[in-house]
Amino acid sequence: MKGIDAIAEILKREGIEFLACYPSQPLIDACARRGIRPVLCRQERIGMAIADGFSRTTNGKRLGVFTMQQGPGSENAFPGAAQAFADNVPILLLPGGEFTHKAFVKPNFSAMDSYGSVTKWMAQINHMDRIPELMRRAFYQLRTGKGGPVLLELPRDVMEGEYGSDEVQYTAVNGNRMAPDPQDIREAARILLQSNRPVIHAGQGVMYAEATEELRELAELLQAPVMTTMPGKGAFPENHPLALGASAVSTTKPISHFLQRADTVFGVGCSFTRTAYGKTIPDGKLIIHSTIDPSDVNKDYEAGHAVIGDAKLVLQELVDEIRSSTAGGGREANGTVAEEVQTVKKEWLDEWMPELTSDEIPINPYRVIWDMLHTVDRANTIITHDAGSPRDQLVPFWETVAPRTYMGWGKSTQLGHGLGLIMGAKLAEPGKLCINVMGDAAIGMVGMDLETAARSKLGILTVVWNNGAMAIERDTMEYATEKYGTVFVGGNYSEVSRALGGWSERVEKPDDFIPAFKRAIEVTKTGQPALVEVITKEGFDFSKYP
């Protein structure tokens, strides 16, 4: 048995189902012989995004893996690792490496020297005997604590050398959860019960812990409205009477209304990072911060109280403590909070209804969102945005009804990442409708990987908003645009999709969108990817957001 076969055998025992890969790596064949399906992409960062989307969709219970060639393969994959690291996604990266006796020889690229800033943990399998040990450590890191990319570099002599045995001594790894300190729980419960207007700020840690039901119980006991971060969108059902929605660069009026008036903000499963891609907490709020990672606490916001632990365990114990100390009654709320939430939400939607139901030509992208929202079965749909305008237009208005039916991403914003994410989601949930919404700039970067979906029989649905310009960047290059037309980009992406093996239609009138969208949905059921190109108007008005 060669070293590469020992690695493949361990991946099989760990339950790995798919190996995203590009372009050439001995691990591909070794895994294929063991029934692990290779999914060959057209560029490395999309392969990383496929692994990313698979892990997100399964809350890391089934892990995405990406392998790439040493040197240029590792170099090209860096943006995908940066994106997964920014969003704390557990994926296993297995780059090839030069022979160990070629270490420290320039210009050979070393993943170990270059990926430290975008990985949770990394190592090089520098000796054949260490394969089981280092694989065990890698999977423990993937399954314990905050998520993030884990990297194991595979030098060529380790992959090609003889393992020395026909049997690998290896047992699959279990992770651990961290329970909170009971005193911290009692203090958090006391503060929340004494608060006049608490708001719950939920992050994606709630979804990784699979704690949506516990979050709902806490919100109802406290009669506290719930907002989510963009990566946490879906952690709380947005059709619940206490749901405020999610924030990207854009936000919802209910979030702004309740955050401004809150006295206490309870963050759970979140890092409380100050970012342009999330709502800033106003000054003067008492913050209770519950996170699995102590390094998050007091990072960007002063925490009045902290609770360290797995989100599910924290929420379970908080619910029990509040029930116990209030004879099951919860907090006595002043007035009917749910009614206030629904009143503000109705006001907000009424203000936006002219955009959401617009008959403009070129088509208003908000009309597209509204039409999609009322056409699909949201509980059986997974949708993601791309960077830029699609993200900030979709996040506030797509009402998410179940966990992991929306993939929000973004502290890093790699254009085109959504296409790989949705392919990973389709691999994880083949029975669900999987939609990627992207702009013309994003498809310009990664559009060739539509062929990956066609070749792999991944029936994803891509909706392209084509306004012929990088509209969101227009204000940053006014002179260049006026003199040289710098922001204007062009293309017929419907024709590109057909040329790459997909089905497509181009829509130029708003009333034509839903029929084309429904036809696209039917096509995806056959395993063929579909693309609907919508000619949309240029422009993005942030002033309408609170």
* Banded pLDDT at 240 (limits 50, 70, 90): very high
Q: Is residue 203 within 8 Å of residue 235, measured between CB atoms?
A: yes
What is the tens place of the pLDDT at every residue in 68-113? 999 999 999 999 999 999 999 999 999 999 888 877 788 888 898 8
Backbone CA torsion sign across 478, 410, 73, 108: positive
* Tokens (6 digits) for 206: 């709630």
How large is the average pLDDT for residues 474-479? Answer: 80
Backbone CA torsion sign across 533, 378, 514, 487: negative
* Banded pLDDT at 545 (limits 50, 70, 90): very low
All residues at 6 or more sequence positions from 194 whose CB lies less than 8 Å from its CB, including other chains = none
Q: Is the pTM of this model over 0.85?
A: yes
CA 301 to chain CA centroid, nearest Å? 23
Cα separation of 490 and 175, whole Å?
48
What is the tens place of the pLDDT at every residue in 129-188? 999 999 999 999 999 999 999 999 999 999 999 998 889 999 999 999 999 999 999 999
What is the tens place of the pLDDT at every residue in 373-390? 999 999 999 999 999 889
* Tokens (6 digits) for 465: 């908003």
The residues with which 507 forms a beta bridge, in sequence order, are: 534
CA 331 to chain CA centroid, nearest Å? 33
Stretch among 15-19, 95-99, 273-277, 472-476 having the lowest mean pLDDT? 472-476
- pLDDT at position 487: 82
All residues at 6 or more sequence positions from 256 whose CB lies less than 8 Å from its CB, including other chains = 279, 546
The residues with which 94 forms a beta bridge, in sequence order, are: 67
What is the tens place of the pLDDT at every residue in 293-304? 999 999 999 999
Backbone CA torsion sign across 402, 407, 412, 413: negative
DSSP-derived 3-state class of residue 288: strand
* Banded pLDDT at 2 (limits 50, 70, 90): very high
What is the tens place of the pLDDT at every residue in 278-325? 999 999 999 999 999 999 999 999 999 999 999 999 999 999 999 999
* Tokens (6 digits) for 2: 């060669």
* Tokens (6 digits) for 445: 């970067």
